[in-house]
Amino acid sequence: MSGRLHAEQMLARAETETGLSDYGDPTLPQRFGLVVDHLDTLAMDEAGCRRAEDVCHGLLTSRLQFFEDRNRYPVAREVIQAPMFVTGEPRSGTTLMHALMSVDPDARALRFWEVMYPSPPPGLAGPDDPRRARADADWHEINTLMPKWLPSHPYNDMLGDGLPEDERTWAFDFRVLTPTAWWRVPMQTVVGGLPTDAVAQYRIHKAMLQQFQYRRPRRHWVLKGFHGFRLAEMFAAYPDARLLWLHRDPVQVAASRTMMMADILEGIVGPVDLKAAAAMHLELTRASIANTMTHPLVDDPRILHVRYTDFITDPVRTVRRYYRFCGRDLTSSAEAAMHEYLVHNKGDRHGKFRYSTTLLTDIGEDLGALHEEFRPFRERFGVEIETRD
């Protein structure tokens, strides 16, 4: 028996429970309605609908409380100065780069426990804030539900202290349905179809940084997300930002991201059609590479382009190069922490992640033709063909 969700009732419930009604954006109810319409197309059973309603309720109440914090406290006065971003294709080393920068004692990174439960400002709470334990429990549940995710993304063992992508700050904006917010809901990842507004999304992102910086020691922000399609809006929000862009062989990117997402979704919805997934992720990779080749801001002097293979060969050297590019010194304590992280956090600590470019040949693609298709990209950024298989 399938159930049905009702957007108006869920909005009213969140407002009644919190005693609040300011979502920080008058278009939010309409956008939330579109998400609910999508959920209703999935024909979930009653248990699935209950899980979806619980997720929606948590996101709605969190948003109401978050914007109330901005009314109660001078959070909006916080200045976000010269943030350091990392971007690149999925599976191109961005998470490791971000993790290394995050252990710098002078840096501040987003943490899952904060973005999952952002209210009240963490600077007003103590070290025993119960949100940490709550997020740890969430991540134990995620890792149990999706055990195959750990080999491809071992950083999930950091639990609530893990490092979310910048896109996770938009979960309660209902423009993206990231798996780390919707893992309890039996649905496929939503790729497109929801109204986006990059300017509004970076307003939310900056508001999150202000929330987590408020009443805390000042440190420089280190951040990671897929910003290549939103460069103009990102730099408009953070004119003094710097961006490290890692570049990898697109054929490997397409195959690796296919297998990683299949492993994630298998835990949420069951067996995945690998051929359909490979076709989708190859097209997403093509679109992203086309954007990289044509976006007018790709050569902006605030962007440092680095090859994935150079980063993997000497990760700390790449961090040092990026810090120098940003006009910062990599302190001896920061460098020591990064080397220690590499020693104690091997990439295969939860088993070796295995994938193959046969995922692409199985859908009729010719690897030689794909390498030729991506040759202009590889030549522009000095990216060599990887031979893993």
pLDDT tens, 147-195? 999 999 999 999 999 999 999 999 999 998 999 999 999 998 887 788 8
Q: What is the pLDDT of residue 4?
A: 83
Q: Work out the burial of residue 90: count CB atoms within 10 Å of its CB; fewer than 13 is exposed, 13-18 middle, 19 or more buried.
A: buried
Please, which residues bridge with residue 221 across strands? 108
pLDDT over threshold 80, residue 255: yes
Q: What is the pLDDT of residue 1?
A: 37
- Looking at residue 55, its amino acid is V
As a whole number, mean pLDDT of residues 328-339 equals 98
State percent of the chain over pLDDT 90.
95
Q: How many CA atoms lie within 13 A of 99 on its CB side?
A: 21
Residue 338 tokens, joined: 């990064």
As a whole number, mean pLDDT of residues 55-60 equals 98
Please, which residues bridge with residue 108 across strands? 221
Q: Are 319 and 97 in contact (CB under 8 A)?
A: yes
Question: Which is it for the CA torsion 198, 324, 317, 293, positive or negative?
Answer: positive
As a whole number, mean pLDDT of residues 136-153 equals 97
How far is 177 from 175, CA to CA, in rounded Å? 7
Residue 378 tokens, joined: 């590889």
- Per the document, the length of the chain is 389
How far is 250 from 257, CA to CA, in rounded Å? 10
As a whole number, mean pLDDT of residues 82-93 equals 97
Residue 132 tokens, joined: 């940490």
How far is 363 from 275, CA to CA, in rounded Å? 6
Backbone angles phi, psi at 344, to 5 degrees: -100, 0
The SS3 of residue 80 is coil
As a whole number, mean pLDDT of residues 66-88 equals 98
Q: Among the listed ranges 36-50, 135-149, 286-300, which one has the minimum average pLDDT value?
A: 36-50
Q: Work out the burial of residue 91: count CB atoms within 10 Å of its CB; fewer than 13 is exposed, 13-18 middle, 19 or more buried.
A: buried
As a whole number, mean pLDDT of residues 42-59 equals 95
Say what angle helices 28-40 and 46-72 make with each other, to 10 degrees.
Answer: 170
Backbone angles phi, psi at 196, to 5 degrees: -105, 155
**E strands along 225-302, which residues?**
242-247
pLDDT over threshold 70, residue 389: no
**What are the residues whose beta carbons fall under 8 Å from the beta carbon of 86, sequence distance 6 or more?**
94, 97, 98, 101, 222, 223, 224, 243, 244, 246
pLDDT over threshold 60, residue 95: yes
- pLDDT by residue (tens digit) across 102-135? 999 999 999 999 999 999 999 998 888 999 999 9
**What are the residues whose beta carbons fall under 8 Å from the beta carbon of 298, sequence distance 6 or more?**
228, 231, 292
Tell the residue number behind the tokens 């917010």, with chain if given. Answer: 181
How far is 35 from 176, CA to CA, in rounded Å? 10
Q: What is the pLDDT of residue 3?
A: 61
Residue 235 tokens, joined: 């730099």
pTM score of the predicted model: 0.96
As a whole number, mean pLDDT of residues 66-82 equals 98
How many beta carbons lie within 10 A of that of residue 74, not counting itself? Answer: 10
- Looking at residue 111, its amino acid is R
In terms of Cα–Cα distance, which of 157, 160, 131 is closest to 144? 157
How far is 384 from 150, CA to CA, in rounded Å? 28
Tell the residue number behind the tokens 């440190």, with chain if given. Answer: 219
**What are the residues whose beta carbons fall under 8 Å from the beta carbon of 307, sequence distance 6 or more?**
246, 247, 248, 381, 382, 383, 384
